[in-house]
């Protein structure tokens, strides 16, 4: 189905101010939409997304403009690499996200969450700000291995990271804006922040190289992998990978937790059920947390439904590296292909009552119609880490606090760069008894 020229102009105009509203303009009636006059294709149905991400994945790569923005913002890492470089990086990095390593980090996730939640006060709280603070604390400890000895360096990383996130969000929402090499005020602030963050993480690497205590945080594991000559891991490569994981492991998890807590604030009975599952985490011994997480069926449903309604990444974009075919539609080399994740995960073709929050859905049945972590060879390596963190954080927060939403209007989602609540999201907290 072709989108006519008027539809294209309307789509582009709307996207400039509201990406989610632009998603609502997509026809979604056929597997593929051709945008007339522009080398741009929309893979609207699960079958088309499956072909792009899995069965014909070799025919596509990440678009150069997106790769350049992420690389300028975060450095050269697994998210921006392609072809042989990507394969080498993935083989090196993937073992650090193995199940037994996530199990070892679960204690850190639980301790950090419990400590943070206990310091919250009854009354109104910007839950988006609070869980963002929580997830960056978990990232500093679980990803970068921050300890009391390195607390000052970790604080530096955290401060600079906020500047970097603001720059990436601006560039992704304004792809025609000037690149980082042009010395605008915004770009100078970003480059200075990135340089300071890289220097701080380099100090953490130096500390771990001299003090290997057997910790299983991501940075420590990469430092150990560095001893294997086959990995070719330099200090600079470890720095860039850690910044990439900070971006993926903190920003998207914070966004999902925010929306999950918002939805729970409107369903007291469901919230109490999650709190009951969270209480089991408090009783679990060391090494038992992941097993407990796997039994938290109600919490799991809430998280999956939050991931469906509020995907941190609202779309996946690829560029055809060769001439190919997508659901019977010819795709020329260089054509941009967008998978509208937000629209697909709210499509009535895949979901019953798609805009309703329903944690009893069987999300696994949707296949490529449910893509919170992507699919295929480039599926997010940290999915297990993120889901474990979300279960632990959501369960322990609900076990500690009763939450309600008292505003007259619902929060407005915006892309910043993950799906966030515009202006924050205030919940009213009351100690759970």
Does residue 1 register a pLDDT over 70? no
* Terminal C-alpha separation, the chain: 56
- Buried (b) or exposed (e) across 404-425, using 16+ Cβ within 10 A? ebeeeeebebbbbbbbbbeeeb
Question: Hey, is 413 helix, strand or coil?
Answer: strand
pLDDT digits over 251-285, tens only? Answer: 889 999 999 999 999 999 999 999 999 999 999 87
Task: Note every long-range contact of 95-100, with CB atoms under 8 Å and residues 24 or more positions apart, other chains counting.
Answer: 95/221, 95/225, 96/218, 96/221, 96/222, 96/225, 97/218, 97/381, 97/382, 97/384, 97/385, 99/290, 99/384
Q: pLDDT value at position 5?
A: 42
Alpha-carbon span 222 to 239, nearest angstrom: 10
Alpha-carbon span 127 to 406, nearest angstrom: 13
DSSP label at 57? G
pTM recorded for the entire structure: 0.93
Domains of the chain: 1-61+313-371 (3.30.43.20), 62-312+372-431 (1.10.630.10)
Regarding predicted confidence, which is higher, 4 or 270?
270
pLDDT digits over 197-206, tens only? Answer: 999 999 989 9
- Buried (b) or exposed (e) across 256-285, using 16+ Cβ within 10 A? bbbbbbbbbbeeeebbebbbebbebbeebe
Regarding predicted confidence, which is higher, 397 or 210?
397
- Cβ–Cβ contacts within 10 Å for residue 235, how many? 16
Mean pLDDT of 221-245: 86
């Amino acid at each position: 189905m072709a989108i006519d020229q008027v539809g294209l102009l309307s789509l582009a105009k709307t996207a400039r101010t509201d990406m989610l509203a632009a998603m609502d303009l997509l026809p979604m009636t056929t597997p593929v939409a051709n945008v007339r006059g522009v080398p741009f294709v929309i893979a609207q149905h699960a079958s088309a997304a499956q072909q792009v991400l899995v069965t014909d994945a070799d025919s596509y790569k990440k678009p150069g403009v997106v790769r350049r923005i992420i690389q300028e913002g975060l450095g050269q890492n697994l998210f921006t690499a392609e072809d042989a470089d990507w394969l080498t990086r993935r083989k090196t990095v993937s073992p650090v996200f193995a199940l037994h390593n996530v199990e070892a980090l679960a204690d850190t996730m639980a301790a950090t969450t419990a400590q943070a939640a206990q310091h919250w006060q009854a009354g109104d709280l910007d839950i988006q700000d609070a869980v963002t603070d929580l997830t960056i604390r978990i990232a500093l400890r679980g990803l970068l291995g921050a300890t009391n000895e390195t607390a000052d360096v970790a604080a530096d990383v955290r401060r600079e990271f906020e500047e970097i996130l603001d720059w990436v969000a601006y560039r992704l929402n304004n792809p025609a804006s000037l690149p980082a090499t042009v010395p605008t005020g915004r770009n100078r602030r970003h480059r200075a922040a990135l340089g300071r963050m890289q220097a701080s993480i380099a100090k953490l690497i130096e500390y771990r190289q001299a003090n290997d205590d057997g910790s299983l945080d991501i940075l420590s594991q990469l430092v150990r992998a560095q001893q294997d000559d086959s990995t070719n891991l330099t200090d600079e490569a470890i720095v860039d990978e850690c910044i990439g994981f900070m971006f993926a492991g903190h920003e998207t998890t914070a966004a999902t937790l925010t929306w999950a807590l918002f939805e729970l604030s409107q369903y007291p009975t469901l919230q109490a059920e999650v709190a009951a599952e969270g209480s089991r985490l408090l009783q679990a011994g060391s090494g038992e947390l992941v097993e407990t997480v796997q039994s938290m069926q109600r919490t799991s449903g809430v998280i999956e439904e939050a991931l469906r309604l509020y995907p941190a990444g609202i779309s996946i974009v690829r560029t055809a590296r060769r001439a190919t075919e997508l659901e019977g539609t010819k795709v020329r080399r260089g054509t941009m292909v967008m998978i509208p994740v937000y629209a697909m995960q709210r499509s009535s073709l895949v979901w019953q009552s798609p805009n309703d929050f329903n944690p009893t859905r069987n999300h696994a049945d949707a296949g490529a119609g449910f893509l919170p972590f992507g699919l295929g060879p480039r599926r997010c390596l940290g999915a297990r880490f993120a889901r474990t963190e979300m279960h632990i954080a959501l369960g322990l927060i609900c076990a500690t606090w009763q939450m309600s939403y008292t505003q007259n209007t619902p929060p407005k989602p915006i892309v910043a760069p993950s799906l966030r609540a515009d202006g924050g999201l205030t919940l009213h907290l009351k100690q759970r008894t």
